[in-house]
Amino acid sequence: MNETSVKSAAHLYPVYIGENLRHQTDHYLSKSYSSVLIITDETVASHYLSDVQESVSQETVYVHVIPAGEKAKSVDTFYQLHTKAIEYGLDRQSLIIALGGGVVGDVAGFVAATFMRGIDFIQMPTTILAHDSSVGGKVAINHEQGKNLIGSFYAPVAVIYDVGTLHTLPDNEIRSGYAELLKEALLADGDLYQSLIMKDLSSLSNKDLADKLLKGIEIKAGIVGIDERESGIRQHLNLGHTLGHALESLLGYGYRTHGELVALGLLFAFRVSEKTFSSQLPYEQLYTWLKSNGYPFKLPFVEPARILSKMKKDKKTLRTTIQMVLLKDIAKPALVEISDEDLLNYLHDFQKELEQRND
Amino acid sequence: MNETSVKSAAHLYPVYIGENLRHQTDHYLSKSYSSVLIITDETVASHYLSDVQESVSQETVYVHVIPAGEKAKSVDTFYQLHTKAIEYGLDRQSLIIALGGGVVGDVAGFVAATFMRGIDFIQMPTTILAHDSSVGGKVAINHEQGKNLIGSFYAPVAVIYDVGTLHTLPDNEIRSGYAELLKEALLADGDLYQSLIMKDLSSLSNKDLADKLLKGIEIKAGIVGIDERESGIRQHLNLGHTLGHALESLLGYGYRTHGELVALGLLFAFRVSEKTFSSQLPYEQLYTWLKSNGYPFKLPFVEPARILSKMKKDKKTLRTTIQMVLLKDIAKPALVEISDEDLLNYLHDFQKELEQRND
């Protein structure tokens, strides 16, 4: 088991990573609680809920299972979880455990952030993608008009990451989480990036993955420790997300996984970076690796103007001009304003190029 | 114009109090914003919205008017306000102004706390009651099963309090706000308490009220400055609210104003304090003053067991035993656990006494 820690405005919290941690949940609780509510989704419940339930010895342990998938990040699920918390008699000394991927972590975390104005919660990620979302204290639900538009900064009291839960992930979820790892490496660690892209996803071992996830978490923790509230360098974590989020919203949440579309966004950010800084990035290498690992290149066509309009609804948009995270080089990110006109051209060219290559 | 300041975890924020401040809003903004959304209710809009709108010189000023009354603190209004904020193109550099009483401050503040994970907001209270709710950084909406159950601690960047807006208040709103002033005085300042209870509400001057409100705000600011997150002495501010909140919820929000029921709660807290500490409190004086100033003593009968059960749904409840704020003496509050049995007896006796006096 490895351990690292993350600094938030409110407190420093530990991140435990290793195998079989789900069988020892109690061991990682730093105090006793009046009651515990485990929130998880249907898929995760069938695999790991009983393990976690059995490993919590608090007197009163409740469970609520939400539907799997992005649609659970709705205001309806949010309100329903509050109803359950009230009905179970949770109070300010209670704990919420978010057992699952990013969706569960985000919605359960936002419930914890807002139930009686905030109670303790613990993230227990069960996906690769959630290595990213579980660290950094961002919690949120979606608005019909945009992802994560309603939320808070609210740090967990701990992250308990059992990498033994990752082997049940479907391929598209592995691709999704791995894209965020690629992003973290691109922001801060060229060697990690090369080691990530040297391997095919099908040949990853649990041990190998755990080591890389720890590195990814440390990169992210380093950034959010400096800038929790995203007024400065935390915005770099948005690399690949300007296009990724817009596509996710336009194609419908769940059409492809978050990270698969972020991966396309990374490729797009490479291209825009090259145009903006006249820099040389390993575009071909990334394209080839993504293609051979099954990332989606055949997407329904969406007009560049619609993509641009959607980008402007993103909460990172400032005074209505798009700011994109670009790379001057690997591990040298920069936040740059891109004019509407340039962006439309870049989108048009990018779509055209991918289409031609697909033929 | 007077000014005081309040300490929150995030920042120190100023409270400006005086007459006609609503005509100089711009003067109190500490920076420029990409856009401003003024949220107010129907009643306040008809009196003061145009004044405020005209005094904000930012380029883009939007307005959204919500229904008056507690029902607007719903998850539906909350979501609708998010929709408006998105449609108006608010971004992270935008400002929300909450112009109105506690309901507007709470719901608009919670929208500001959660829109894109938090943007700046300013409280512009227009009721006496809101002198209390606008200071201290608590924002929330109601759940069908309880008041303020969904919310955050989120401090405004400033409070701009124009006491010139208070003369349009109906009597029951004056009673409501004044009860919270009585509470603050009871917690910390015996002289203020005596001066408050020496006057009838009908004889209050604007100047007099402004001075007393400033004192009330300073008492509250002193407490929340020490304990913003209600882990310790902030709980004292709950004096009178254990019964007040329960009645409010059981009789239906809006049946009587918040503070009118808190006033009954203060009287009840006097009685329980006397039983618990064998202390002598000016119960008769308070009863007489409340009665002669029109506070409600003829309420529909509610079974003590139902009141107790509702109290247990209050978010201040800890491990299911009721904790009440009592007074060892005026200006000497204490948080005390009261057993269910005792509480039922106290409620029964209190109801019986009020009923007999009403005859």
Instruction: Write the residue in B114, B229, B317 that is nearest to A152 by C-beta.
Output: B114
pLDDT at residue A29 in the model: 93
Interchain CB distance below 8 Å, A151 and B113: no
A339 band by pLDDT with thresholds 50, 70 and 90? very high
- Kindly list the domain boundaries of chain B, sorted by start residue: 2-168, 171-358
Give yes or no for B59 touching A (CB within 8 A): no
* pLDDT higher than 60, residue A46: yes
Q: What is the pLDDT of residues A223-239, one digit of tens each?
A: 988 887 777 888 999 99
Instruction: Write the residue in A75, A87, A115 that is nearest to B79 by C-beta.
Output: A75
B102 annotated to bind ligand: yes
Assigned architecture for domain A171-358: Up-down Bundle (1.20)
Structure tokens at A294: 């099954």
The full 3-state SS of B116-148, as one line of letters, equals: CCCCEEEEEECCCCHHHHCCCCEEEEEECCEEE
pLDDT at residue B59 in the model: 80
Give yes or no for A86 touching B (CB within 8 A): yes
- Chain B residue with minimal CA distance to A318? B91
Average pLDDT over residues A127-148: 92
For residue A144, the chain B residues in CB contact (below 8 A) are: 83
pLDDT at residue B3 in the model: 76
A33: which residues sit within 8 A by CB, 6+ positions away? A58, A93, A94, A95, A120
Interchain CB distance below 8 Å, B89 and A312: yes
Contacting A residues, span 128-167, partner chain B, CB-CB under 8 Å: 138, 140, 143-146, 148-153
* pLDDT higher than 90, residue B28: yes
Picking from A46-55, B131-140, B176-185, which range would have the lowest pLDDT averaged per residue?
Answer: B131-140
pLDDT at residue B343 in the model: 96
* Neighbouring-strand partners of residue A7: A12
B168 annotated to bind ligand: yes
Q: What is the pLDDT of residues B52-89, one digit of tens each?
A: 999 998 889 999 999 998 899 999 999 999 999 999 99
Give yes or no for B320 touching A (CB within 8 A): yes
Third-level CATH fold of B2-168: Rossmann fold (3.40.50)
Structure tokens at B17: 């109090």
- Chain B residue with minimal CA distance to A111? B150
Question: Which residue in this structure is represented by tokens 């920042």?
Answer: B11
Check residues B183 and A248 and name the one with the higher pLDDT: B183
A5 band by pLDDT with thresholds 50, 70 and 90? confident
* pLDDT higher than 60, residue B319: no
B317 band by pLDDT with thresholds 50, 70 and 90? low
A319 band by pLDDT with thresholds 50, 70 and 90? low
* pLDDT higher than 60, residue A318: no
Give yes or no for A247 touching B (CB within 8 A): no
A166: which residues sit within 8 A by CB, 6+ positions away? A126, A127, A128, A174, A206, A209
Give yes or no for A91 touching B (CB within 8 A): yes
Interchain CB distance below 8 Å, B118 and A143: no
- Contact yes or no for B105/B130 (Cβ under 8 A): yes
Interchain CB distance below 8 Å, B93 and A319: yes
pLDDT at residue A254 in the model: 75
Average pLDDT over residues A56-70: 92
Interchain CB distance below 8 Å, A319 and B83: no
B4 annotated to bind ligand: no
* pLDDT higher than 70, residue A9: no
Instruction: Write the residue in B9, B75, B316 that is nearest to A79 by C-beta.
Output: B75
Give yes or no for B91 touching A (CB within 8 A): yes
pLDDT at residue B225 in the model: 85
Dihedral angle at the C-alpha atoms of B187, B192, B194, B198, nearest 10 degrees?
Answer: -130
What is d(CA A217, CA A213) in angstroms, rounded to the nearest whole number?
Answer: 6
* pLDDT higher than 60, residue B311: yes
- Backbone torsions φ then ψ of A63, nearest 5 degrees: -135, 135
* pLDDT higher than 60, residue B275: yes
Question: Which residue in this structure is represented by tokens 């006496």?
Answer: B128
Instruction: Write the residue in A86, A91, A116 that is nearest to B319 by C-beta.
Output: A91
C-alpha distance from B81 to closest chain A C-alpha (Å): 11
pLDDT at residue B312 in the model: 87
Give yes or no for B92 touching A (CB within 8 A): yes
pLDDT at residue B9 in the model: 67
B227 band by pLDDT with thresholds 50, 70 and 90? confident
Mean pLDDT of chain A: 92
Structure tokens at B7: 């300490």
pLDDT at residue B256 in the model: 92
Average pLDDT over residues B196-222: 90
Residue B81: which of A75, A154, A242, A112 has the closest Cα?
A: A75
Instruction: Write the residue in A82, A91, A114 that is nearest to B152 by C-beta.
Output: A114
Instruction: Write the residue in B83, B149, B230 that is nearest to A82 by C-beta.
Output: B149
For residue B145, the chain A residues in CB contact (below 8 A) are: 83, 86-87
Contacting B residues, span 163-192, partner chain A, CB-CB under 8 Å: none
- Chain A residue with minimal CA distance to B113? A152
What is d(CA B47, CA B66) in angstroms, rounded to the nearest whole number?
Answer: 14
pLDDT at residue B255 in the model: 87
Interchain CB distance below 8 Å, A93 and B150: no
Mean pLDDT of chain B: 92
pLDDT at residue B204 in the model: 86
B75 annotated to bind ligand: no
pLDDT at residue B313 in the model: 76
3-state secondary structure of B172: helix
A252 band by pLDDT with thresholds 50, 70 and 90? confident
* pLDDT higher than 90, residue A358: no
pLDDT at residue A75 in the model: 98
Give the DSSP letter of residue A67.
P
For residue B33, the chain A residues in CB contact (below 8 A) are: none
